Structure 1
Amino acid sequence: MPERDLYDILGVPRAATADEIKKAYRRLAKKYHPDVNPGDKASEERFKEVTAAAEVLSDPKKRAFYDEFGADSLRSGFDASKADAYRQWKRQGAPPGGMPFDFGGFQEVNVGDFGTFDFGSVFEDLFGGRTGRGRARAAQAQHGAHAEAEISVDLRDAVLGAERDVRVGGKTLRVKIPKGVADGSSVRLSGQGAPGRHGGKAGDLYLRVKLREHPWIHRDGKDLYLDLPVTVPEAVLGGEVMLPTFEGPVRLQIPPGTQSGKKLRLRGKGMPDLRGGDRGDLYATVRIVLPERSAGLEKAVKPLEDLYKADPRAEISL
């Protein structure tokens, strides 16, 4: 049997306003509420159907998905909803939408710009704040919202890992920066988000990493790149140089006849893998540095002219 249209369930047009949806829900909930129809299974099912329809149509985001995708948007694993929720979380620092609605609790459902549709207040108006056999229904625990902040991290700390004190929301937190953290990634602090309600757990705090630029080294994925100044004799004759890294100097062999611009690779000296995989590599780009100009330099270089057998620019073609 085809699923009923949510607008038809509430008896409102597709262009209905949030206020019209709320009024329709109040009217139907009063009619089919189990307290009004004790023991009537049909009324109970109708009440649940009405409540479920109102829960979707009172939320602008869920309503937009329903208008576009129909009943498919209500099924678990609906990708469009997950993708949009993630975008909202990145932009606002907390996932959109309210707590999952529970038919037994009548909790609040977040409806974005339209305010908060409080199902509980509806029944307080209808039944004097009491449900069942005159007993106030206990409030359902609600998980606190997640929050987001930004933390600036030096490249050195991203390579080696570090612990930092950060001040967020008036409190100081000790944060562990994991090795291999990337620009734009997040560090999660469990239970440091917004507090829960009615005994619910606090949300999490997500610290979005902003990686500071380094004057000598830049990162590309798991690899690191730097310019390596070498002297003319080192480039011509070759030799061993000490290359500084965040973990201390390492020995690097310069092959004889090395040209400026050549990249020399040091395997496993790049970024650590955040998930425990192999480290990246470090690439040193050779930059030949000439000594200060002097008469002695010109005299020493003059004989080199005879060593060039061909024009080094002959292959340039525009």
Structure 2
Amino acid sequence: MADDYYQILGVPRTASADDLKKAFRKLARQHHPDVNPGDKGAEEKFKRINTAFEVLGDPKKRALYDEFGEDAEKIGFDEKKAAAYRQYRAAQAAGGSGGGGIPFSTEGVDLGDLFNDIFGRSGGGGGAGGFDINDLFGRGRGGSRSTAAERGDDLTTRVQISLAEAVTGTERTLTLQRPGRCSKCHGEGNTGKLVTCPTCNGTGRARRGGAMFGGSGVCPTCRGSGKAPEPCSQCGGSGIKEETTRLTVKIPAGVVTGSKVRLAGQGAAGIQGGPPGDLYIETEVAEHPLVRREGDDLYLDLPVTVSEALLGGEVRVPTFQGEVTLKVPAGSQSGRKMRLKGRGVPSLRGGTPGDMYLLLQVKVPEEATDEVRAAAETLARAYRGDVRRELAL
């Protein structure tokens, strides 16, 4: 059973956008890998939380998820495919196989691929919901197609990285399942031999789809010749077999959530020998518990002691590129902003990198000993008037 995204975020299905965002932020902070170092369970939970919010936080994706459940993910939250699938379900409810006079609108959608996405690629034809998809979309039994070679689909996968990795760049080794080229027929989908067309039994004519289309015409598989290539027994004629592959991808410094890294030719294999599609790695940059990012600039609250703020001094400051020494001017107040030039996020376009801004936060001692009290009383006498004299609402 697929995860219920509402249960993962702990909200009802009627939750508002603000409720979803609040629940996500709370859970993300709780299970963030930086807060739970080495805890694989927390890391996996964090990934599931992000995946759930990616869907429910997008109004269009949420609407499709509410309507179709996990099937919405299988068709990639594609609104055109969703419309076709909606019509298919309406036809099934009205009598199956397009009965009841409800037609499919296939504009812009390959419904054969749509049903393969939803019900799984079997490579052996076979119907879904009471009709033969292969016959319906002009494919011979066993999956052979009458169309020319087609480019494979582009694929997208998400990779979560830390803010530190977004600043410095990183690598990820991914294990992916994707439609690959059949090793037996080398992606051609057939053996190279001609056999009696399985769709029309050699007559060259075939009836399409029963009640939905009606009538007969030139066989879409053999185009009237009565002969068709013998489909490959391993891939069923599609030229494609699911494969597992490992890829190492370099993620450049400067990426943000939503940035995409393109790997040319690493997508789904092409149909019947067509070229493969591309693979897009979409990055998701996790929030950091201490550092805030605004564009290419970073912000860090920097604690300093009373004496460092009053008398000045040098303090060590961590950055994603290594520690630096910062000179705190004497008489610094809480909230003072200091800049470390070029210590922010590199520009993806090769421009000037961002800066890191430090906001001083003066911290008083945790314990008020007699000595500390005496020092505080001495400090109190050093103020020139009421420190809140200009405070007015």
Report TM bin, short chain. 0.5 to 0.7
| Contact map agreement 2:336 2:359 (CA 8 A) in 1 | yes
* Partner in structure 2 of residue 111 of structure 1: 109
Residue in structure 1 matched with residue 171 of structure 2 by the alignment: 163
Match of 1:262 in 2: 336
Q: Which residue of 1 aligns with 2:371?
A: 296
CA contact (8 A) 1:94 1:147 kept: no
Does structure 1 residue 282 correspond to structure 2 residue 356? yes
**Is residue 293–residue 299 contact of structure 2 (8 Å, CA) maintained in 1?**
yes
Tell me if structure 2 keeps the 8 A contact 1:240–1:251.
Answer: yes
**1:100-127 Cα deviation digits (max 9, x unpaired):** xxxxxxxx975266988xxx989989xx
Q: What are the residue-to-residue correspondences of 1:49-68 with 2, within 5 Å?
A: none
Letter of the aligned partner of 2:172 in structure 1? R
Give the 5 Å matches for 1:186-265: 186-265=260-339
CA contact (8 A) 2:260 2:283 kept: yes
Amino acid at match of 1:140: A
**What CA deviation, in whole Å up to 9, does each residue of 1:125-176 have, x standing for no partner?**
9xxxxxxxxxxx9842211111112110011111111111122223221111
Q: Is the 8 A contact 2:111 2:137 kept in 1?
A: no
How do 1:64-79 residues align onto structure 2 when only pairs under 5 Å count?
none
Structure number with larger C-alpha Rg: 1
- Residue number in structure 1 paired with 2:380: 305
| Partner deviation per Cα, 1:270-315 (whole Å, 9 max, x = no partner) | 0000111100000011011112221211111101122222222222
Cα separation, 1, equivalents of 2:154 and 2:317: 44
What amino acid is aligned across from residue 111 of structure 1 in structure 2? V
Q: TM-score, normalized by length of structure 2? A: 0.48
Q: What TM-score results when the alignment is normalised by the length of structure 1?
A: 0.58
Q: In the alignment, what sits opposite 2:392?
A: 317
Bigger relative contact order, structure 1 or 2 (CA pairs below 8 A, ≥6 apart): 2
Paired letter, 1:153: I
Can you list the C-alpha shifts for 1:31-75, whole angstroms capped at 9, x where unaligned? xxxxxxxxxxxxxxxxxxxxxxxxxxxxxxxxxxxxxxxxxxxxx
1-structure distance, mates of 2:249, 2:162: 14
CA pair 93-204 structure 1, distance change in 2 beyond 3 A: farther
Matched residues in 1 for 2:359 and 2:113: separation?
58
Q: Is 1:268–1:282's contact at 8 Å kept on the other side of the alignment?
A: yes
Partner letter of residue 374 of structure 2? Answer: K
Contact 2:112-2:137 within 8 A present in 1 as well: no
| Contact residue 171 and residue 249 of structure 2 kept, 8 A | yes
AA in 1 matched with 2:294:
D
Matching of residues 114-153 of structure 1 within 5 Å: 139-153=147-161
SS of residue paired to 2:334: coil
Structure 2: segments with no counterpart, 5+ residues = 1-63, 65-72, 82-105, 115-133, 140-144, 178-243
